[in-house]
Amino acid sequence: MAEKRWLAAYVKMHHEKRVRDRLTAMGIENFLPVQEEVRQWSDRRKKVERVLISMMIFVHVDPEEQRTVITHPSILRYLTLRGEHSPSEIPQKQMERFRFMLDHSESAVNFTADDLRPGEKVRVIKGSLAGIEGELITMEGKTKIAIRIQQLGCAEVEINASMVEKIT
């Protein structure tokens, strides 16, 4: 049996949740980064799932499943590096950190495609994100921890600097 790997697939605009549901029904492991948030309309408030990275879903597939996934009508293509022809693999450790951050963060996680300047490597020692490793950054005067996802960008969440320790 071939080794499974994480790949990022581009999907049609606003089809992310439908693709997630279809892949799950097909038995293909996938991950759609979403967060619940409360939206306010003039007449009501409602909890909605917000897709963190629009037009993208992550799949954990072997080569046969990889061919099956790309046949789905709403999946456009896999993420590839410039000049490459095969899909770009996302390291398992980065996916684990990203999923952990989404599952355990008490505040909203934001995703940016901007490549952040490397900061100090830190490990969270307190709170719901304890154990996660990333880079400590300051954006707009706020301290945040960032998790890099190769070829895509960074996920970041606001955190108190007293809750992290420097990794040496």
CATH number, domain with residue 155: 2.30.30.30
Name the domain count of the chain.
2
Cα separation, 152 vs 8, in Å, equals: 9
The Cα diameter of the chain in Å comes to: 54
Q: Check residue 14 and give its pLDDT.
A: 94
Residues of the chain with pLDDT under 50: none
- Domain of 76 in residue numbering reads as 5-90
Q: Check residue 139 and give its pLDDT.
A: 76
Q: Check residue 1 and give its pLDDT.
A: 64
Q: Check residue 148 and give its pLDDT.
A: 80
Output DSSP code: residue 158: E
The tokens describing 24, both together, are 């799950």
Q: Check residue 114 and give its pLDDT.
A: 62
Residues 44 and 112 in one domain: no
pTM value is 0.76
Quote the distance between the C-alpha of residue 102 and its chain's center.
Answer: 8
Residues 42 and 106 in one domain: no
Residues 158 and 108 in one domain: yes
Q: Final residue of a domain: which of 67, 90, 113? A: 90
Residue 103, amino acid: D
Q: Check residue 72 and give its pLDDT.
A: 94
Percent residues over pLDDT 70 in the chain: 96
**Cβ 114 vs Cβ 31: under 8 Å:** no
